[in-house]
Amino acid sequence: MEIWDILPRRLQRVLGPLEGGVEELRLRAFQPPSVAVGGRERSLDCGALTPDELWRITEAAAGGSLWSCESQLRRGYLSLSGGARLGICGEVNLEHGEIRSFGEISSLCLRFPREVRGCADGLEELLEGGFENTLIISPPGGGKTTLLRELVRRLSESGVRVGLADERGEVAAMRAGAPQLDVGPMTDVLSGAPKAAAVMSLLRCMSPQVVAFDEITEPEDAAACSSCYGCGVKLLATAHGSGEGDLRRRRLYRGLLDAGIFARCVVIKLDAGSRTYEVREL
């Protein structure tokens, strides 16, 4: 299903005029919908949403087949066509301490992919003179995935063979074997697999020159970074945080930074709706 088709018609009517600039659509039970544009959220002039409506939207996002999306639901999201992602919040049913399914849905976050060609135009220093292991850092919603995609495209177009581990399908948005978002002509995409397994598979089978993936969140992801470093393959990855100092306070990233795996970081700062990119040597 196309992204907008999962929404009830009354929401589609209200959102239609805003379609191009919306970064996120927030849907909460018993609240009117709200949109995030340039990092700012505002409510729409539309009646409050019911829990039933939130269920129907979730059902539509899964194509009526919630059972076929179990692995994504356990991680609290559903991937949609075009690289969009539906984040789900509510009352969960647990199994062995992990999310098994959702009993009640209280809020949804529909995040739209944004392809911003040229957003890396001021970052030539990263691409020229040989690419070095780079970590993109920003808080949630800061534009890490957008910048990652653009850097992958630029590297690929310059003749670098890139292996992209696209776990949630948000970077390349693969459909019928073709990326719906431009990641360049020399990029091999492995989507849907956990990052760590995908990275190892790319290293073994696709002989990439650069491995790229979104969001280092698990120890396994950090281990995959170390494996790439040990193989002489360059890394391009993203992490949630406000800066290098923030990452150093967390064990998961401290090890990577102390080991010198990443040579540079790009810190994305959001100020009054505009983004700035700061490149720092690590």
Partner 1 sequence: MTKIMGAALLVSAGVLFGYGRAQRMWARAALLRELGAAVMRMHGAVEARQSLRHICSAMSGQFTGECGSFFEKLGASLGALGESGLGELWERCARESFGSALTERELAPFLRLGSSLGSGEGALLALGQCERELERAAECAEASAARDGRMWTALGAALGSAAAIVLI
Residues that bind partner 1 (CB under 8 A): 1, 5-9, 52, 55-57, 59-60, 62-68, 70, 73, 93, 101-103
Choose between 95 and 125: whose C-beta lies nearer to partner 1: 95
Beta bridge mates, 281: 264
CA distances (Å), 12 to each of 22, 32, 83, 112, 152, in order?
A: 13, 13, 19, 15, 33
Interatomic CA distance for residues 87 and 19, integer angstroms: 19
Give me the least distance between CB of 63 and partner 1, in Å please: 5
Give me the least distance between CB of 202 and partner 1, in Å please: 25
Two tokens, residue 123: 């970052």
Interatomic CA distance for residues 165 and 55, integer angstroms: 30
Give me the least distance between CB of 67 and partner 1, in Å please: 5
* Cα 2 from chain centre: 18
Give me the least distance between CB of 260 and partner 1, in Å please: 42
Beta bridge mates, 189: 164
Choose between 73 and 147: whose C-beta lies nearer to partner 1: 73
Choose between 38 and 47: whose C-beta lies nearer to partner 1: 47
Choose between 64 and 122: whose C-beta lies nearer to partner 1: 64
Choose between 2 and 128: whose C-beta lies nearer to partner 1: 2
Neighbouring residues of 68: CB distance < 8 A, sequence distance ≥ 6: 62
- Phi, then psi, of 249 in degrees rounded to 5: -80, -10
Give me the least distance between CB of 65 and partner 1, in Å please: 4
Give me the least distance between CB of 1 and partner 1, in Å please: 7
Choose between 9 and 249: whose C-beta lies nearer to partner 1: 9
Dihedral sign for Cα atoms in the order 84, 183, 71, 226: negative
Two tokens, residue 87: 């984040």
